[in-house]
Amino acid sequence: MVSESPCIPQYDRISAWVASAPEFCHPLTPPSDDDSRPHSTPLKRKRAMSLPANAPASSLYRSDSPKRRRTDDTDDVQPEQSASQLGSKTPLALNERNTFSPPASRVSSSPKRSSSPTRETPIILRSAYPPVLVESLNGLKEAPPEHAERLGDWLAEGIDFGFIPQGLQRVIKNDPEVGHQTTKPADFDRSDTRSAEELSAIWKEVKKIFLNARDCKDGGRDENAWCDDVVRPLLHLAMELDGNDRWWFQSVQSQSINPLYLSTIPAASLTDSGRRKFMDRKTDYVLSYSHRHSDISALYKRLDIVNNREIGHTLDTFTKRTALFSGFEVKPASGDHTEAELQMSVWIAASLRKKQELARIAQTSFEPTTMVEPALTIVGHEHSVYYAYPREDLHLPTLAMGSILVPAVGPVPGTWSDLPVISPGRARNALAPTAPSGNNDHCQRPSSTPKNGAPP
């Protein structure tokens, strides 16, 4: 070993280093003919730390991983070549079993842009089988059945007057938290006889719901917030005031409708031109007759005895064993009313079909037009009530029926649209379903719009 002394000149150091190198080394050779040929197309850019295919064996320790070896083998592939052709002296024989993939240089590295799905609206249900029609009450070619008009009268009875207990007039006016509220004398129910203590308890709950609704609207909160902080407590309060434990409030947000009661629309594929798909939608909440009420519980027990307990139109183990009616689809203030209407159309049509099936099983004689079922959509402060009933004029099989949905009461957004201080007795008959009936469904929107928003 030559020592490196400061007195040795610089060139002596280099000479000493060369002299100390091992005798064996790779001789310098010119590049091969293959490497010296001009390439018409530049090579692909190599991955970082990759080696050429003709690297000496002593350098292959860098490619100890199988994944890296596979990468190295294909790094020098020309755009018009395949990996199997590289290094081959004979052209690739073409036959029926050859398969080719596009060159990597021609494939975009960015993810493929997904195509926008076709937006489905209630109009698409017109061509479904069975059809589901969504129309406005004003301008119907046929007058709605008597039961549907009666339901509208019940709902409208507490909309324009007498929906706030008289004892709350001063409380509302003097409460700074709710801010200024525009009311008129006809809004107050002077016949209300509830005590100050009862009214105070009601006002506490109503005020909380109102403030939550205002925060949801002003803060742009999502659907979950509207469901949990506004709609759910609103419905629970209404049931507490006048439900008498008869109703059971259920969340069905994750539950699917039994396909037996769904409409289908054409969905042709390359292999099946007659293919159809179910128009399946979910809704948020539904009411049912409570199994905890003594009279209703006895009915459920009789159904169990005859092994006929599947009386709901969902697939859920519990919900399909309860008598369902109505439905509530909730959207935030910025939500899509058309989508809410589509979801409710599918839900309430399936509900009517199930009730028709039950009526046939029980061999009960009924007229289709006597079956009317209410349903509601809530988009922020805007509440719409729908009348659903069968139609015979569509001439469809018993389970195949059309549904026409029309919002009944759509309060103007504002002051009292989320306060359930309406006299509860007026809402009771509106929500209770009538006797089963009919072949085809139909729902309608009433034309009246209240000046002051009222809760469903």
325 within 8 A of 252, measured Cβ to Cβ: no
Cis status of the peptide bond prior to 130, with omega within 30 of 0: yes
DSSP 95-137: -TT------GGGS-SSPPPPPPPPPP-GGGGGGSBS--EE--S
Determine the Cα–Cα distance for residues 196 and 190; give it in Å rounded to an integer.
Answer: 14
Res 32: pLDDT? 60
Res 275: pLDDT? 92
Res 428: pLDDT? 31
385 within 8 A of 407, measured Cβ to Cβ: yes
C-alpha distances out from residue 22 to 18, 25, 76, Å: 9, 7, 33
226 within 8 A of 378, measured Cβ to Cβ: yes
31 within 8 A of 39, measured Cβ to Cβ: no
Question: Mean pLDDT over residues 166-186, rounded?
Answer: 91
The structural domains of the chain, with segments of one domain joined by +, span 137-175+192-444
Tens-place pLDDT, residues 281-306: 999 999 999 988 888 888 888 888 87
**Does the pLDDT value for residue 319 go beyond 50?**
yes
**Can you read off the two tokens belonging to residue 339?**
């989508």
**Does the pLDDT value for residue 85 go beyond 70?**
no
Determine the Cα–Cα distance for residues 421 and 350; give it in Å rounded to an integer.
Answer: 32
Res 124: pLDDT? 83
- 193 against 435, higher pLDDT: 193
Determine the Cα–Cα distance for residues 235 and 231; give it in Å rounded to an integer.
Answer: 6
Determine the Cα–Cα distance for residues 430 and 297; give it in Å rounded to an integer.
Answer: 23
Q: How much helix, strand and coil, in percent to the nearest 5, is found in the chain?
A: 35, 10, 55
Tens-place pLDDT, residues 157-170: 767 788 899 999 99
**Can you read off the two tokens belonging to residue 449?**
């719009």
Res 357: pLDDT? 86
Q: Residue 407 pairs with which residues in a beta bridge?
A: 386
Determine the Cα–Cα distance for residues 123 and 338; give it in Å rounded to an integer.
Answer: 10
**Does the pLDDT value for residue 95 go beyond 50?**
yes
Q: What is the mean pLDDT of the chain?
A: 72
Question: Mean pLDDT over residues 83-107, rounded?
Answer: 58
- 431 against 93, higher pLDDT: 93
**Does the pLDDT value for residue 180 go beyond 70?**
yes
Measured N-to-C along each axis, helices 146-156 and 424-431 cross at an angle, to the nearest 10 degrees, of 160
- Counting Cβ atoms within 10 Å, is residue 225 exposed (0-12), middle (13-18) or buried (19+)? middle
**Can you read off the two tokens belonging to residue 206?**
């109503």
pLDDT tier at 236, thresholds 50, 70, 90: very high
| Model confidence, pTM | 0.64
**Does the pLDDT value for residue 211 go beyond 90?**
yes
